[in-house]
């Protein structure tokens, strides 16, 4: 049985889903199913139970955080998250720039359209 669901993504997320589906050679729906399955498994296997921080001193909280480091972000951040985030933003900006160029070309190609860079 299939349940149809509508989701709305920002352009960068939609592009990521499309790239992932192409990389895996599956439909976008299948890519979403696989990504959700992996995210759920990661959450179940790597998340320690969080204590009630309201009854803890700041030192106790820091001690708990040191003993229970955050699990890696799904998809994984490596040794240099700042560089990786910058690269990801640059890729997304490049995708958006390409899309804007395509939109501008379509506007110019429309009958009666004037060129306005």
Summarised one tens digit per residue, pLDDT across range 14-53 is 888 898 889 889 899 988 888 888 877 776 654 556 677 7
- Largest distance between two CA atoms of the chain: 69
Does 104 score more than 80 pLDDT? yes
Q: Which letter, b or e, does each residue of 53-79 get, where b requires 16 or more Cβ atoms within 10 Å of its Cβ?
A: eeeeeeeeeeeeeeeeeeeeeeeeeee
**pLDDT higher than 80, residue 87:** yes
pTM, to two decimals: 0.40
User: Average pLDDT, whole number, for the chain?
Assistant: 79
Contact 40, 34 (CB under 8 A): no
* Percent with pLDDT over 70 in the chain: 79
Q: What's the pLDDT score for residue 112?
A: 67
Q: Rounding to the nearest 10 degrees, give the CA dihedral for residues 35, 39, 41, 47.
A: 170
Indicate the angle between helix axes 28-46 and 11-24, nearest 10 degrees.
100
* Cα 114 from chain centre: 37
67: closest CA among 46, 82, 48, 39? 48
């Amino acid at each position: 049985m299939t349940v149809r669901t509508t989701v709305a993504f920002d352009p960068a997320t939609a592009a990521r889903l499309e790239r992932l589906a192409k990389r895996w050679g599956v439909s976008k729906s299948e890519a979403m199913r696989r990504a959700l399955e992996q995210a759920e498994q990661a959450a179940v296997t790597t998340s320690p139970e969080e204590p009630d921080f309201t009854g803890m001193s700041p030192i106790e909280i820091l001690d708990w955080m040191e003993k229970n480091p955050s699990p890696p972000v799904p998809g994984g951040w490596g040794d240099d998250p700042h560089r990786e985030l910058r690269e990801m933003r640059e890729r997304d900006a490049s995708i958006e720039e390409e899309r804007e160029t395509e939109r501008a070309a379509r506007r110019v190609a429309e009958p009666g359209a004037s060129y306005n860079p």
